[in-house]
Chain A
Amino acid sequence: MAGFILKRLLQAVFVVLAVTLIVSFAIRLSGDPAIMVMGGGNVTEQDLQNIRQALGLNRPFYVQYLSFLQGLFVGDFGKSFMGGTPVSLLISQALPATLLLAFASLLTSIALSVPLGVYAAVNRGRWPDQLIRILSLVGLSFPNFWLAIMLVLLFSIVLGILPPSGMEGPESFIMPALTMAIILTATNMRLVRTSMLETLSQQYIMVARSKGLRDRVVLYKHALRNSAIPLVTYIGLQFGNLIGGIVIVERVFNWPGMGTLAFDAISNRDYPVLQATITVLALFIVFINLMVDVAYGLIDPRIRTE
């Protein structure tokens, strides 16, 4: 088992390094941060040279990359090109914002998909099942920015009950989390339904039922517990996609998270901020995948050999 974990860890390190290399290299292919710092107005080549010098952009790529890696190991991500804010400060504010939103979205989605999935499974083939499945597909058929804008129009402009943007009180989580959750729910609901159906057809549930336990108790105590594992796994593996979706939702809701940070960093060619945000996000995704793998390795020894 230790060997398996070690192997996985080494793979994870390799993946994160590869990600940092790809990102650092790609972002330098076009555009010049110096001109973004200068604002593209009254500039001479000499000004640009001065700025490049100050930002350390005159060094060869491998030197810049290695110094980024070096910083990574001591936890120093450097300073933003735009104004010199320490990148670690920016990330320490943005990461919790994104993780909180991700968490809230998952919770909302679970709160929606579990009862719906269970209800659909119990009514398999009858109209509530069909209706739930179709509605979940409808939820999957909107571009998420569109859904977000519509929610703002409804709840902030027409009804005036929710703040249209920002991360302030708990009420500011409702719309962003709902936008994400509607998209997640379509697939999560399906998973719950499928695994519920499987569990329901198993022996011990039949036994439990035949012992005269009430339906609801059977459902929630036995069946649901067993269908939780595939759901959690799936969510773990979907974390990367979840983060991707959050980038757009953050933009519409002006959410001060990693997506906003990275998006601005791309348009400003703010290398330190972009490298750091993507590395941190990749670390999270890899870590969660690793946890899922290890958990599976613990449960099912056959996987370790693959």
Chain B
Amino acid sequence: MAAAQASSAPRRFFKSFELVVGLLLTGSMCLSVLFSGFLFPDGGESMDLMARLTPPFTDTAHVLGTDPLGRDVLARVIVGGKISLTVGVLSVLGAVVVGTLVGLVAGYYRGIAEILLMRFADIQLALPFILIAIMFLAILGTGVNKIIFFMIVAQWVQYARLVRGSVLALRDREFILSARAIGVGNGRIIFTHILPNVLGPIVILMTLNVANNILLESSLTFLGLGVDPLIPSWGGMLADGRTYLQTAWWVSVFPGLAIMFTVLGLNLLGDWLRDFLDPTGQTSK
């Protein structure tokens, strides 16, 4: 295959480049968010109306300037990552757990579980996602937990379909059949033999979905369905800062860059993982 000849030096360098840059971007974002409590004990909430809209790089107390209420943009960008990352990570974890379980059951036992899953997936595919998100948030009210809950509801099907597909391909393979023949229980077969074999594609999809959901959270905030504006969040800063784009660009450009770097890092990692775990490209998104 052509893959062999392409494993040339620049390609290998590029692969590790993706990994290094991806880790660097995502890692540094995660770390600073993790330690934001120590860096900014006030949580970016201290207000000073007299110092509103201080431009960046002019005041050492506010390196990235201040927002329309005189709050420190740097502090809010760092602290604001909390919401975005929490939403991104928790929603994906929730969807993975639910989706994987359903997918395993549907693929392994087939029957009614599978039929239900497939019809449910059809319905989900036919719904314009953002509109449904807007509708549900409007109805349920806003809040971080509701946004996460909704993302789980909307995305578990992706994992369920993926896992079901992989299980279907695996269940009649020799090593499963022989395990069953020597009397290994179904539960053990699923968790020790099948699950490890479907992890690769799941991890790839997860990385990409964390990135996706961070963007989604910011879009929902943009549409006015965000969380308490006192709690800094990237989406909220972008949305509120758009009013000031022409007079105080820093209010929304820095959170925009924070989102971009984080999501880019995750995408690079996802890309690297894809080549690493799934060279045949089944999960090409």
> Which residues of A does B touch, CB under 8 Å?
11, 14-16, 18-19, 22-23, 26-27, 29-31, 124-127, 130, 133-134, 137-138, 140-146, 149, 153, 157, 187, 190-191, 194, 197, 200-201, 240-241, 243-245, 247-248, 251, 259, 262-263, 266-267, 274, 277-278, 281-282, 285-286, 289
A127, A137, A247: which has the most chain B beta carbons within 10 Å? A137
How far, in whole Å, are A145 and B220 apart by their CA atoms in the complex?
10
- Across-interface contacts of A134 in B (CB, < 8 A): 268
Q: From A18, A27, A149, A251, give the contact of B245 (CB < 8 A).
A: A149
Q: Collect the chain A residues with CB atoms within 8 Å of residue B281's CB.
A: 194
If A146-B256, A190-B284 touch, whether A27 touches B10 (CB-CB below 8 Å) is no
| Chain B residues positioned under 8 Å from A27 (CB to CB) | 135, 139
Q: What are 8 A-B contacts with C-beta separation under 8 Å?
A: A27-B135, A31-B138, A125-B8, A125-B10, A137-B271, A142-B256, A143-B259, A144-B219
Chain A CB within 8 A of B170 CB: no
Q: Find out whether the CB atom of A285 lies under 8 angstroms from the CB atom of B1.
A: no
- Which one of A251, A266, A285 contacts B138 once the chains associate, using CB atoms below 8 Å? A266
Known contacts A125-B6, A145-B222; is A191 also within 8 Å of B123 by CB?
no
Contact B11 A141 (CB under 8 A): no
Least Cβ–Cβ distance between B132 and chain A, in angstroms: 8
Given contacts A124-B6, A191-B284, A194-B281, are A244 and B129 in contact (CB under 8 A)?
yes
Do A240 and B135 have beta carbons less than 8 Å apart? no
> How would you classify the secondary structure of chain B's contact residues: helix, strand, loop or mixed?
helix
- Would you give the shortest CB distance from A209 to chain B, in whole angstroms? 13
- Judge if B62 is at the interface, Cβ distance under 8 Å: no
Given A23-B135, A201-B1, A262-B131, are A187 and B285 neighbors across the interface (CB < 8 Å)?
yes
B121-165, CB < 8 A from A: 122-123, 125-132, 134-136, 138-140
Q: Interface residues, chain B, CB within 8 Å of chain A? A: 1-2, 6, 8, 10-11, 14, 17, 119, 122-123, 125-132, 134-136, 138-140, 211, 215, 218-219, 222-223, 235, 238, 242, 245-246, 256, 259-261, 263-264, 267-268, 271, 281, 284-285
Contact of A127 with B10 at beta-carbon distance under 8 Å, contacts A137-B268, A157-B246 already known: yes
User: Which residues of chain B come closer than 8 Å to A245, judged between CB atoms?
Assistant: 130
Query: Are B131 and A266 closer than 8 Å at their CB atoms?
Result: yes
A274 closest partner in B (C-beta): B135
When A143-B218, A143-B235, A289-B125 are in contact, do A263 and B131 touch as well, CB less than 8 Å? yes
Report the nearest A residue to B239, measured CB to CB.
A145
Known: A241-B129, A266-B131. 17 other contacts (CB 8 A): A18-B123, A22-B127, A23-B132, A27-B135, A127-B10, A137-B267, A138-B260, A140-B267, A141-B211, A146-B256, A149-B242, A240-B125, A244-B129, A248-B223, A259-B131, A277-B131, A278-B127
- A177 to B8, alpha carbons, bound, how many Å? 38
Residues of B within 8 A of A266 (CB): 131, 134-135, 138
A285 partner residues in chain B, CB cutoff 8 A? 125-126, 128
Complex Cα distance, B131 from A86, in Å, reads: 21
Across-interface contacts of A247 in B (CB, < 8 A):
128, 130-131, 134
CB proximity of B96 to chain A, nearest CB, Å:
20
